């Protein structure tokens, strides 16, 4: 396992060692002791989630508020996505900034998204299976969202607007400015 820092403190790219031969391949997708040794973060994942989506599906930007905040370790089991994290930590020097990375089943690259971030992704391949571990249980009453196309955040989703497929809920999330006004 190799850890790469992003411009957003605490948001980490994880490169795993893949071992392969003529039978196929193997890699350890998470080891708590190794993760702690390399990052100093003692994360206790308590919930795994998986979604399946077709090209153009944009899921985001989501987060959990307050005591229900979640850190996530995300990866792609099939296909490819463009994955984005937005720093919403009050007082952070990178507040409102985003980081995006293409994750794919072939690269085996993962992204660690700490608590206090909005998170989302768009499917770039014909189909994708997205998997993530969370360090806190989902709480419907603590749901939060950020508008996916807020010009103040400026995310380039890699596809044309007419190619995007969004839930009704994700079409009406607040802007970053509206979020700030609730702090």
Q: Give the catalytic positions in this structure.
A: 62, 132
Q: DSSP letters along 131-162, please?
A: EEEESS---GGGEEE--TT-TTT----SS-GG
**DSSP 3-state assignment of 17?**
coil
**DSSP 3-state assignment of 66?**
helix
CB 82 within 8 A of CB 148: no
CB 94 within 8 A of CB 153: no
Structure tokens at 178: 């509206």
């Amino acid at each position: 396992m190799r850890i790469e820092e992003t411009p957003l403190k605490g948001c980490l790219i994880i490169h795993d060692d893949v071992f392969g031969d003529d039978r196929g391949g193997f890699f350890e997708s998470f080891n708590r002791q190794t993760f702690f040794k390399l990052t100093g973060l003692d994360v206790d994942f308590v919930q795994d989630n998986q979604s399946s989506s077709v090209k153009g599906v944009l899921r985001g930007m989501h987060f959990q508020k307050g005591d229900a905040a979640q850190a996530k370790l995300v990866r792609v089991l099939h296909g490819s996505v463009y994955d984005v994290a937005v720093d919403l930590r009050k007082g952070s020097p990178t507040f409102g900034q985003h980081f995006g990375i293409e994750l794919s089943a072939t690269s085996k690259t993962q992204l660690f998204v700490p608590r206090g971030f909005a998170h989302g992704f768009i499917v770039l391949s014909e189909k994708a299976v997205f998997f993530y571990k969370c360090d806190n249980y989902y709480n419907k009453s603590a749901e939060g969202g950020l508008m996916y196309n807020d010009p103040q955040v400026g995310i380039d989703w890699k596809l044309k607007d007419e190619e995007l497929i969004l839930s009704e809920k994700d079409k009406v999330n607040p802007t970053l400015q509206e979020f700030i006004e609730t702090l």
